[in-house]
Chain A
């Protein structure tokens, strides 16, 4: 059912990560993404993997939830892993070979690392941002981080407001879509069978009412905001003032150290052939 779709689900909590300033979390997520792409050899990935596990533990998000978030990307991970296994050419003898396909140790190492990279990327950023930060504070943080851009006349506040409104109305829109779909199904509309062209045409009775009501809702919302004297960020005060605390600095320090450590680690030359021994043992080729 449509309502099962979860977009960046927020899990309220009181863990250290929940308590971080949203700006800190955005900065940390950026550092984390850089770190993930910097990592390029097994040791650096091991470090990243361990830090992600620690991150999960600190956030107190249940393991089940994390598994669920991985589910939609399993296909991509498996697909890239398979491609990497077969397409990577290594030095030395292939580990296994049949027909025109050769598997090298480098290929396996690469596949594992690429899979880990995507996995760590998704899990890490979800923990830092979507799972532990409410959409409202996320946009608050974004607005505050981007506020220097106001100097060049970019409407930062407006963008942030648009974003939070968009996020706010996703569930409403989903509910509405379901309602209209049911109404049209009650009139014999068929959304699930027929050729592609027929299906596209079947969407008209769904899209027209959806657009009409969205425009109407936007207008009503604008009126309601004006009734409460909304004038953009002019003279607007905030209920929750963002403030960096000790915890924020501590986390930032840890992440910077992590990044520096990673950069040091990738300079260590690495010989994949040494891995080959493990596979030789595994495949009884000793």
Chain B
């Protein structure tokens, strides 16, 4: 199997031993594969962000293990910062982390911390900028002059510049216009393919999940609820709806058709897929 990151029986409790104790993650096991994009969904407070902060060792799990290529990341706690170079985490609203004088220097912050040579840093900055869609003329500007969407891209490039084997993004498209959204999410596939990296995408949008992901992990009240391919997950619409989530709009159309006696089959979670299924259905009807 092509797995790179695996978590086993992971639990996290906030404020352990105080009256404010809260279980944020409860015995979750799941694995992530190379070259695949995995979507992580769940409604607010379901433990997504907690899980994400455990993946690169920002927090230490209360119990359970995180394995990166078979090695426990907390085996040597002093080396935990090295894990963060390999599991890149783009936090929510990452544009707030920009600080350097130029975009170039800001993207280069990660590689500089890696202790690379100047040429290597420059190469990585350019590569990351290309991946994230930061154009060359922006590189000399101050990150504070940029627009919101540009800042977001620079912040993502700052993580990509470390060439992580696992790229985790917490709602990377929140608050962006549809075009910015498409561009950023579209570049993820590019990264996963070319670097053979595992990409983990946290999102609220079922359309994004259906469109950009291969696998989906569904969280519900601190627990793992479902895991499977996009097709498997979205074919169980009722299960998703029962935990306060939704299916893509187009899957609902397919569902309504089914209620009216039109049974479609195929990838019923993208507009393309449903279109093909309807055409197929019509063709069969003629026969």
Contacts and interface: CB of A to CB of B under 8 A. Distances in A.
A158 interface: no
B91 to A, nearest CB: 5
Given A205-B109, A212-B144, A186 B89 contact: yes
Interface stretch (A78-86, A115-123, A135-143, A187-195): A187-195
Interface in B67-114: 81, 84-85, 88-91, 94, 96-100, 109-110, 113-114
A187 B109 contact: yes
Interface residues of B, number: 24
B227 interface: no
Contacts of A204: 99
Contacts of A213: 96
Given A179-B91, A182-B58, A182-B91, A187 B158 contact: yes
A184 B85 CA distance: 11
Contacts of B154: none
A173 to B, nearest CB: 13
A38 B91 CA distance: 55
Given A182-B58, A205-B109, A188 B91 contact: no
A208 interface: yes
Q: Is the interface of A mostly helix, strand, loop or mixed?
A: helix
Contacts of B220: none
Interface string A158-182: 0000000000000000001001101
Given A179-B91, A187-B162, A188-B162, A209 B97 contact: yes
B96 A187 contact: no
Question: What class of interface size applies to chain A in its complex with B?
Answer: 10 to 19
The 9 lowest CB-CB distance pairs between A and B, nearest first, are A188-B113, A208-B99, A183-B97, A187-B110, A186-B89, A205-B99, A183-B91, A209-B99, A182-B58
Interface of A: 176, 179-180, 182-190, 204-205, 208-209, 212-213
Interface of B: 53, 56, 58, 81, 84-85, 88-91, 94, 96-100, 109-110, 113-114, 144, 158-159, 162
20 contacts: A176-B96, A182-B53, A183-B94, A184-B97, A186-B56, A186-B88, A186-B90, A186-B159, A187-B84, A187-B97, A187-B113, A187-B158, A187-B162, A188-B114, A189-B113, A205-B100, A205-B109, A209-B99, A212-B99, A212-B144
